[in-house]
Amino acid sequence: MSVFAAERAVAINAVLQASKVCQKVFKQLVNNETITKKDKSPVTVADFSAQAVVNTILYHSFPNDPIIGEEDTKDLRVESGKELRAKIHSLTNSILDDPLDETTLLDAIDRGSYPGGSQGRMWTLDPIDGTKGFLRGEQFAVCLALLVDGKIQLGVMGCPNLPVDSKVPEGEKGCLFIAEKGQGAFQRKFSSTEETKIQMANISSILEASFCESVEAAHSSHGDAAKIASLLGITKPPIRMDSQCKYCSVARGDADIYLRLPTRDDYEENIWDHASGALLVQEAGGIVSDIYSKPLDFSLGRTLKSNKGVVVSHSKIYSQVIEVVQQVLLKK
């Protein structure tokens, strides 16, 4: 029995509305609508609007729930952010039922500034995960998860550009993935409310496995992944894809392993880059850990500060995968 039925329904609506924002922006996107953060990562009108839409919808149903969201309005509240702010304002209001004034809009985005922690309910939101994929017209995802006392209870992901059936890549696109702890993993199309249960592929041998990794080698070492694959006897080429669509692909059996291998000692993964995807894979029969085989700890704030990298596989092959990951990464 679902414990979070109300939260599930609200999260699905929020993610679908935010996905609509992203699709609308993509059709109209021009270069000056992108700004670059200090770490050189891009952020677009759509990232801000999607966060405003989700935070507003969550606030309407759960006004006391804090939110850990990726974006903030630092760059929008200054004079140079005026034009961008106006675009975000009109875009957000074109989706929401009740229009917001500019101040309410900025405050809605900043409701995502919660520091996180191990106590109580909180949501975590990545309004667009894989912003670079979004800009290229490739994979990106709107990712929302509910945490209670530091544990993920619910994850909802909208993947507007992901084919409904990976065997028909030119077919219908737009998938929603839903997982509630202990209740299994589900997929539905944007175009229908019918949900289908998904499971990881039940591969008989690791030699048949395929793995996913980030598009950018700066986010996950392609060289280390190639060594690991070769030691495991994997011959299929890696599937490179932006965003938590990687977790979704593995959860529904399009691939069997997801490796996110650290490229720098000082990088801490953000909780919104993993929360919904990690629960989805676990509910579909997979194991999710870091490279030390430690479970991801979502209770320590906005980042996974006690973890390094991410290793995901079907539970049947996990021990083989993690052994080789450690052989390559920890003994070099």
Ligand X SMILES: Nc1ncnc2c1ncn2[C@@H]1O[C@H](COP(=O)(O)OS(=O)(=O)O)[C@@H](OP(=O)(O)O)[C@H]1O
CB of 170 to ligand X, least distance (A): 22
State the minimum distance, in angstroms, from the CB of residue 265 to ligand X: 11
Q: Answer with the entry of Mg ion, ligand X, none that 142 interacts with (C-beta below 5 to 8 A by kind).
A: none
> By C-alpha distance, which of 154, 152, 134 is closest to 24?
134
129 is in an annotated binding site: yes
- Whether residue 188 contacts residue 207, with contact meaning beta carbons closer than 8 Å, is answered with no
List Cβ neighbours of 156 (8 Å cut-off, separation of 6 or more). 8, 11, 12, 14, 15, 143, 144, 145, 176, 177, 178, 179, 276
- The active-site residue out of 131, 224, 256, 290 is 131
d(Cα 183, Cα 169) in Å, to the nearest integer? Answer: 29
Q: Look at residue 214 and give the partner it binds from ligand X, Mg ion, none, a contact being a CB closer than 5 to 8 Å depending on partner kind.
A: ligand X
Q: Does 131 bind ligand X (CB under 6 A)?
A: yes
Active site residue 47: yes
Q: Which is nearer to ligand X, 50 or 180 (CB)?
A: 50
Binder to Mg ion among 7, 70, 254, 290 (CB under 5 A)? 70
Element (H, E) at 36: strand 34-36
Pairing relation of β-strands 121-129 and 173-180?
Answer: unpaired
- Give the residue at shortest CB distance from ligand X: 216
The one segment of 73-81, 118-126, 167-175, 323-331 that binds Mg ion by CB under 5 A = 118-126
Q: Which 16-55 positions form the footprint of Mg ion (CB under 5 A)?
A: 41
Q: Is residue 126 a contact residue for Mg ion (CB under 5 A)?
A: yes
- Give, as one character, the DSSP assignment of residue 27: H
Task: Output DSSP code: residue 233.
Answer: T
When asked if residue 41 is in the footprint of ligand X (CB under 6 A), the reply is yes
Active site residue 44: no
Q: x-or-dash pattern for Mg ion, window 188-227, by CB under 5 A?
A: ----------------------------------------
Residue 273, annotated as binding a ligand: yes
Query: Measured between alpha carbons, how far is 206 from 290 in angstroms, rounded to an integer?
Result: 20
User: Cα separation of 29 and 36, whole Å?
Assistant: 15
Annotate each residue in 42-81 with x if it binds ligand X (CB under 6 A) or - if it does not, as one string: ----------------------------x-----------
Interactions with ligand X, residue window 188-217 (CB under 6 A): 214-216
- Give the residues across from 180 on adjacent strands: 154
Strand, coil or helix: 138? coil
The Cα 76–Cα 258 span in angstroms is 35
Strand, coil or helix: 144: strand
Residue 243 in contact with ligand X, rule: CB under 6 A: yes
In whole angstroms, the minimum distance from the beta carbon of 187 to Mg ion comes to 21
Q: What dihedral do alpha carbons 235, 166, 253, 151 form, nearest 10°?
A: 120
**Helical H runs in the chain?**
5-28, 45-61, 82-95, 102-110, 131-136, 222-232, 245-251, 275-283, 318-329
Catalytic residues: 47, 131
Q: Which residues are near ligand X by CB under 6 A?
A: 41, 70, 126, 128-133, 214-216, 218-219, 242-243, 263-264, 267, 270, 273
Extract the annotated binding site for Mg(2+): 70, 126, 128-129, 273
Q: Which residues are near Mg ion by CB under 5 A?
A: 41, 70, 126, 128-129, 273
